[in-house]
Amino acid sequence: MDYLKIFSPATVANVSCGFDSLGFAVDAVGDEMTFTKTAEKGVKITNITGADLTYNVDENAASAVVKKILKEAHANFGIELTIHKGFSPGSGLGSSAASAAGAAFGVNQFLEKKYTALELTKFAMFGEEVACGSAIADNVAAAIFGGFVLVRSYNPLEIIKLPVPSALRVVAIHPQIEVKTKDAREVLPKEIALKDAVTQWANVGGLISGLYTDNYDLISNSLVDIIVEPYRKKLIPFFDAVKTSAINAGALGAGISGSGPTIFALCKGDEIAENVHQAIEESYKNTGIHFEMFISKVNSEGMKIIK
Amino acid sequence: MDYLKIFSPATVANVSCGFDSLGFAVDAVGDEMTFTKTAEKGVKITNITGADLTYNVDENAASAVVKKILKEAHANFGIELTIHKGFSPGSGLGSSAASAAGAAFGVNQFLEKKYTALELTKFAMFGEEVACGSAIADNVAAAIFGGFVLVRSYNPLEIIKLPVPSALRVVAIHPQIEVKTKDAREVLPKEIALKDAVTQWANVGGLISGLYTDNYDLISNSLVDIIVEPYRKKLIPFFDAVKTSAINAGALGAGISGSGPTIFALCKGDEIAENVHQAIEESYKNTGIHFEMFISKVNSEGMKIIK
């Protein structure tokens, strides 16, 4: 094989109650990346479209991952990379994660799938470190494993793939404003009330139980974040209006995707998702802030090979 | 029906990571209670064995629950109650919960099972309030629903019954010392670090996922409590020695049952449970503290009708 084209999904991390622990992959939105095997060793980015990202191979999340894997695998070949960003960096939908995870997955195809999904996640976390300064796992794990994932532990890294009820749909709105991850981190308290933590982990338990049992009511009841959302929502204009209109239109729940500014809603079925899409659009169209939206299934397979 | 004899199980609440949220019922240890229908309205306790408990019907957890249910159901009959405590009050194994839950379950049989398990849980919580001063749900819900339960929410009360992997065994040691629930509460911090809370809820998610998938490794990895145990274990002499010997003997994990002093270990299979039992016994026998121990299956059916 000398050429490969893949789709690497956008991802929603945190998922209301699951701050720094839960994530899921999106089906309709993501990056397309191509990999061309070269006789010359090393990695080179030949084209980036859809976003203004660095071609410096040590600073770009995708090429940094490719370089690291080729080195660790003692590969006797190189890779030329093209990246088409299907969604904006800084959206809170795991842009750097899609690049980093896609890079790890893609290169692995040229190495006879030498590495497991867990190992690929570790490589992709290096890409997150390059792009964002910290090796977070939730987005890259969701992109690589597909579906819902739980980051059970970082040390050692343990990723649990959770089931995806088949009628689950995502509606997302990306207001075209910037929320810096650093600001989104700094706005959080270092300490929280024990009783609030109990409420939150009971909801994590409820959400995971709901995913295993296709219990949409339980999923809905559990999609609550009393720890992080109250602080971070202040960084996202009209968050409450979006959330309220989504839930009034039948969404199971809504919250901040990653560290924002994208707001996601989970819905049961296509019809409700359409209604929620329309309701959110209505609630945002007169705010004066530009926005993009999408509806998608939850991606249950992760990466896709296109060619 | 004029007479009923039931078994109401002991229960382990908290279950390491799931403080104030998780609980499970035990198969081998619990109370036996009899209910005799009387023409005269009201409730009366005719005999209590196995523990020194009050016969005052408004102060005894069991009779207080019976009285409340009979009143709410406008029953035209009364109940005479006997209680045989199969384990000690103050052990941390849900003694008052077994009485309260058993009472609710028993009376319901005379009312053509008018009330759901959730409603019975609410009645039993009243018994907990009578006995302990607070209407906690985890023990009574585990006793009534059986198996593992998650208290997803108190308001409204939502109990999720979780599956029980069939090889799961409990080993427990009850050191004959007193840990007052009040002290066990007061020793806890009001605030905890957000990063510790994240670790804890990832473990709650892992434990629940492990229960759904019969993944004993995952259950083992997730049976960790970094929030409550570090404080409460100081109230239980030789806790670390018991835990270490249990884990060295092959236990999946070990922790404090409820607010203690009972220490429980979960194990995969009878053989390991026997080894863990022996190892814990070895570690405690020279401490000078009297203790009782048991091995049991996790009870997956809850209450049992004996006669």
CATH of the domain at B156: 3.30.230.10
Contact at 8 Å (CB) between A173 and A189? no
Q: What is the dihedral of CA A40, A41, A46, A50, to 10 degrees?
A: 160
- Closest C-alpha among A180, A272, B43, A271 to residue A254: A272
pLDDT tens string B92-139: 999 999 999 999 999 999 999 999 999 999 999 999 999 988 899 999
Q: Are residues B92 and B117 in the same domain?
A: yes
The arithmetic mean of pLDDT across residues B217-246, rounded, is: 97
Give residue A27's pLDDT. 93
Query: Which chain A positions have a beta carbon within 8 Å of B156's beta carbon?
Result: none
Give residue B180's pLDDT. 81
* Inter-chain residue contact B204 with A206, CB threshold 8 Å: no
Q: Are residues A121 and A153 in the same domain?
A: yes
Catalytic residue among B11, B34, B121, B181: B181
What DSSP designation does A190 have?
S
Which residue in A has a C-alpha nearest to residue B210's C-alpha? A160
pLDDT tens string B163-214: 999 999 999 999 999 888 788 889 999 999 999 999 999 999 999 999 999 9
End-to-end CA distance of chain A: 11
Contact at 8 Å (CB) between A176 and A291? yes
Query: Best mutation site among A158, A159, A198 for testing chain B: the one with the most B CBs within 10 Å?
Result: A198
Domain that holds residue B231: 168-299
Query: Which chain A positions have a beta carbon within 8 Å of B230's beta carbon?
Result: none
Residue B91 backbone zone (phi > 0: left; psi -120 to 50: alpha; other: beta): alpha
Contact at 8 Å (CB) between B220 and B247? no
Query: What's the gap in Å between the CA of A54 and the closest CA on chain B?
Result: 32
Catalytic residue among A11, A34, A121, A181: A181
> Is A50 within the bounds of a domain?
yes
Of B153, B162, B200, the CB nearest to A197: B200
Query: Which chain B positions have a beta carbon within 8 Å of A150's beta carbon?
Result: 202, 205-206, 209
CA A127, CA A104: separation in Å to the nearest integer? 9
> Is A307 within the bounds of a domain?
no
Q: Are residues A99 and A213 in the same domain?
A: no
CA A61, CA A73: separation in Å to the nearest integer? 18
The residue out of A145, A163, A181 marking a domain boundary is A163
pLDDT higher at B252 or A301 = B252
Q: Are residues B147 and B47 in the same domain?
A: yes
The β-bridge partners of A304 are A7
Of B17, B158, B205, the CB nearest to A221: B158
pTM exceeding the 0.90 threshold for the entire prediction? yes
Of A160, A189, A202, the CB nearest to B209: A160
The arithmetic mean of pLDDT across residues B149-167, rounded, is: 97
Q: Is A274 among the catalytic positions?
A: no
Give residue A183's pLDDT. 86
Query: What's the gap in Å between the CA of B24 and the closest CA on chain A?
Result: 15
The residue out of B113, B135, B163 marking a domain boundary is B163
CB atoms within 10 A of CB B181: 18
> Is A305 within the bounds of a domain?
no
The residue out of A108, A130, A163 marking a domain boundary is A163
Contact at 8 Å (CB) between A159 and A38? no
ipTM for this prediction: 0.96
Entry field: residues in chain A: 307
**DSSP-based three-state secondary structure for B34:** strand
Q: Are residues A20 and A122 in the same domain?
A: yes
The overall longest dimension of chain B from CA atoms, in Å, is 59
Of A188, A193, A208, the CB nearest to B205: A208
pLDDT tens string B16-36: 999 999 999 999 999 999 999
Query: Average pLDDT per run of 10 along chain A, which is 307 residues long?
Result: 96 97 96 97 96 95 98 97 94 95 98 96 97 92 97 97 97 93 90 98 98 98 98 97 98 97 98 98 96 95 90
Q: Are residues A173 and A157 in the same domain?
A: no
Query: Which chain A positions have a beta carbon within 8 Å of B162's beta carbon?
Result: 209
> Is A139 within the bounds of a domain?
yes
> Is A306 within the bounds of a domain?
no
Q: Which residue has the tokens 């949220």?
A: B21
Contact at 8 Å (CB) between B282 and B294? no
CA B130, CA B135: separation in Å to the nearest integer? 8
Which residue in A has a C-alpha nearest to residue B206's C-alpha? A152
CA B288 to the chain's CA centroid = 27
Contact at 8 Å (CB) between B48 and B104? no
Q: Are residues A9 and A147 in the same domain?
A: yes
Of B201, B212, B221, the CB nearest to A201: B201
Query: Which chain A positions have a beta carbon within 8 Å of B20's beta carbon?
Result: 198, 202
> Is B306 within the bounds of a domain?
no
Q: Are residues A150 and A209 in the same domain?
A: no
CB atoms within 10 A of CB B13: 28
Q: Are residues B185 and B129 in the same domain?
A: no
Beta-strand pair A263-268/A168-175: antiparallel
CATH of the domain at B185: 3.30.70.890
Q: Are residues B135 and B180 in the same domain?
A: no
CA B127, CA B251: separation in Å to the nearest integer? 34
Query: What's the gap in Å between the CA of A169 and the closest CA on chain B?
Result: 22
Per the structure, the count of domains in chain A is 2
Cα dihedral sign, A147-A150-A156-A157: positive
Q: Are residues A108 and A145 in the same domain?
A: yes
Query: Best mutation site among A14, A134, A149, A194 for testing chain B: the one with the most B CBs within 10 Å?
Result: A194
> Is A7 within the bounds of a domain?
yes
Entry field: residues in chain B: 307
Q: Are residues B172 and B24 in the same domain?
A: no
pLDDT tens string A6-48: 999 999 999 999 999 999 999 999 999 999 999 999 999 999 9
Q: In one letter, which amino acid is A11?
A: T
Give residue B183's pLDDT. 86
> Is B305 within the bounds of a domain?
no
